[in-house]
Homo-oligomer: A and B are copies of this chain.
Amino acid sequence: MIGGEALLATLVSSDVEVCFANPGTSEMHLVAALDRVRGMRAVLTLFEGVATGAADGYARVAGRPAATLLHLGPGLGNGLANLHNARRARSAVVNIVGDHATDHKRLDPPLESDLIGMAETVSGWVRVSEKAGALASDAAEAVAAAWGPPGGVATLVVRADASWSESGGGPAPPLPRRAPAPVGTDVVEAVSAALRTGQPAALLVGGPALRRPGLVAGGRVAVATGARYLCESFPAALERGAGLPAPERVSYLAEFVEAQLAGVRHLILAGTGPPVSFFAYPDRPGDLVPAGCEVHRLAAPGDDVTGALEALAEAVGAEPGQDGSVPFARPARPTGDLTLQTLAEAVGAVLPEGAVVVDESNTAGLFVPAATAGAPRHDWLTLTGGAIGFGLPAATGAAVAAKGRPVLCLEADGSAMYTAQALWTQAREGLDVTTVVLANHAYDILNLELARVGADGEGPMAAAMLDLSRPDLDFVALAAGMGVPATRVTTADELSRQLERSFATEGPSLIEAEVPPLSGPRS
């Protein structure tokens, strides 16, 4: 078989069965191979940022990597922002980028660029496959590198001539998966000792600790020791809802984090790093660990974080079943105007069991986490790297992974415009995604940040840079343009009804929800 076929067959034998693709000429042999190698589902996207964001969303839900297929340096460039988010989420992504044939590169044709330099900015592993005979083993290594743990972006650059030449072999066998590194009993004992001092403590969990077993173990520790139970600000995939312990997310706002950590003398980290401010502000610290607080690293993201938490629970003498799980509770179905509060209540009132919520709602979704805390069990995926344009692509990939589970994408209007092309892929693939566009007609977070950084932005030119009106975006028309049925809602009751209708209907739909900006109406 040719190199391209050997690559594809190796991916499939390594359990990579979905490829989010936006190919070009240099990838045509890989495309043609799709019909000759069985077992790979190729999902076409109309922009590379959709492909990379979908691969991230897929990995977060499936717990295993998808592949991308991108076209040369510019294609990779278009995918970088969502690869940045994937890197921050530690999502396993097999990022396949086609390149010119090796002999062709020295001619500096128009699409030639520093592809490797670009790839290195987001990848934990980069390899250039120059020979057809190496493609299969390179692909197996790429999958292993993406898996980790911790997971990451593994970029395999495939020269066109490697893809089209005879490989002289078949697919490579999958490489064994590395287990997470065990955490030593000495580390567990030291943390346990700190918790037994009786001094105020906080347990901050993230990464692999955010699935049920880790959450339960952490909850037991918190209940037994009285430590505050916190979760990283932007979890990759947080399991939550009725019957699960619910660590409090570290706030986006540094001012609030100060309150969350006030008086804490021991901060225990499990699967995440110490809290830092998202942005820098004049005359404010960026490191949010309080003065006099000792930081204890129980487990790094690539470690056996859940095992370490379970060992810690035993070490502190935690009772089984005493984990602080939240009871079932839904808000009453709201009525009246659509406000940020009634919007949150509508979601909380109707969120179905087993839903995957992709949250890029930014300011407009501020109250949704609280309103869904006691809803039936669901997963919550957030914007881990701050690169907006994550939500619609990630929801697309999540829906490919989560067959039979409804996907709810809470998407701010400003962010939606970065990668709205994802809607077309949802329509083509018939994916069960309900997108709620929270339309406040502003980059509202910047209205807050303008004041927080101490910039005087009262003038009309600055205001125009934060304003998405003149003209208003019409997401009902945009969705229709990409084959996704859509409606606009202006009341809480309409939102609840449209959500229920969408959850009960197969295929994608979009609801444009008119909401006021958190920053208040503009003058």
Contacts and interface: CB of A to CB of B under 8 A. Distances in A.
Contact of A109 (B21, B286, B424): B286
A300 interface: no
Contacts of A457: 28, 31-32, 35
Interface in A477-491: 477-478, 480-483
Contact of A481 (B84, B470, B473): B473
Contacts of A385: 74, 110-111
Interface string A70-106: 0011110110110011001000000000001101100
Interface string A266-282: 00000001001111101
B453 A164 contact: yes
A47 B420 CA distance: 11
Interface stretch (A135-143, A329-337, A459-467, A513-521): A459-467
A386 interface: yes
Contacts of A482: 471, 473-474, 478
A164 B466 CA distance: 19
Interface in A12-39: 21, 23-26, 28-29, 31-32, 34-36
A474 B474 CA distance: 14
Interface in A238-283: 273, 276-280, 282
B421 A417 contact: yes
Contacts of A353: none
Given A160-B279, A446-B25, A475-B481, A386 B111 contact: yes
Interface residues on A, range: 35 or more
B73 A77 contact: no
A412 to B, nearest CB: 12
Contacts of A101: 280, 286
Given A474-B480, A483-B472, A280 B161 contact: yes
Contacts of A370: none
B280 A455 contact: no
Given A42-B465, A73-B80, 16 more contacts: A25-B453, A28-B455, A31-B455, A35-B459, A72-B386, A77-B387, A78-B80, A103-B280, A109-B276, A109-B279, A110-B385, A111-B385, A161-B280, A477-B480, A478-B482, A481-B481
12 contacts: A31-B457, A32-B450, A35-B460, A49-B78, A78-B389, A88-B110, A101-B280, A110-B386, A111-B278, A111-B385, A117-B120, A471-B483
